[in-house]
Amino acid sequence: MKNCFLKTTLITFALLLGAISAKTAYAQTPAERCKPRETPSQWSKPGNDASPCYEVNQTFDGTSFLKDNNIWTYTKDFADLFGMPARHIEGLQGADAVAFRIQDDLYQRCGMGGNINACQKLETCIVDLYFDESKTKLPWASDLQAQWVPRNNSMLWLKSQEREERPHGLMAIDPPSDVVRLKWANEHLIAFADPATRLQAIFMTNVGTDQGGDDAGSNRLFIDGYFRRFYRDMSVVSVQLGCFISSRKTIAIRLEQQEVRHQTTKRYLKVVLPEGFVSRIHELNKVRKERDMQFNKSLFAPLIGTKGTANTPQ
């Protein structure tokens, strides 16, 4: 069954796969490696789309092309591996790359303001966290190579008639039988667990507060899905970051254990998103917030006396 995680994350992979060629390609100079190919590969057509380098691949050459809707930050090693532009090598810590996007949900919220035809576009803010597992060992809960939450397909509308069988509905994904689920963490997908205790591990962030440093705040990030070692030792985990605007200049995302809520007992990794990347996230969210404000205003008639409207007294 098609699913949201594969459709969105595999598009990201498709933009990178052009950079994955024979090892001899990396012996070439960037100018030789990045020029458009005359003969398309199985993944691309001739022209800029056939270049193994991201920046050329994303340049308009007079024909239609797939435009990446992610913003990126990454390390130099990641940029070299996938032919990414150097301008987004900006001090990312704890991960090899992070991609952020505001993703359209495949449904709307209708009946807004009491009007059945007033439907609001819904979106989810997603980050893809890339880890080279030769350097960063992840505490996977199972041996599955890939898993995802099918929240953006028809399974969303199927509700269990026997609540004791599927307390979270049909989208619930049963964790490995030996994983100890956190009592307060109601997640659809459990991707990580401590190797020794088998206690569930979760992503937390300081996004919920403008106070404190990397360890401040304890807002949980839900996992959308993951793909282990999709290329060499590189793995990706997609999580819902939340659509927000704050004065925080950097953002920390932590994978940790909390047997008691708000009390960290063990930390496995900490990712710190750099200032430039966080600033670009805020700019995207400002556009989204302004659009939502305009929609909310459209639901109700303007106040009596508002200049330039039908509610201006004659």
Question: Which amino acid is present at 126?
Answer: I
**For the purposes of burial, counting CB atoms within 10 Å of the CB of 64, is it exposed (0-12), middle (13-18) or buried (19 or more)?**
exposed
Residue 2 pLDDT class (50, 70, 90 cuts): very low
CA pair distance 188, 170, nearest whole angstrom = 10
pLDDT score for 13: 52
More confident residue, 312 or 254: 254
Taking 70 as the threshold, does the pLDDT of residue 295 lie above it?
A: yes
For the stretch 56-92, pLDDT in tens is: 889 888 888 889 999 999 999 999 999 999 999 999 9
Bridge partners, 267 (sequence order): 256
For the stretch 170-216, pLDDT in tens is: 887 888 899 998 877 777 899 999 999 999 999 999 887 777 788 87
Opening angle at CA 13, ends 10 and 14, nearest 5 = 90
Taking 70 as the threshold, does the pLDDT of residue 159 lie above it?
A: yes
pLDDT score for 129: 98
Number of other residues whose CB lies within 10 A of the CB of residue 224: 27
Across the range 107-131, mean pLDDT stands at 92
CA pair distance 245, 221, nearest whole angstrom = 16
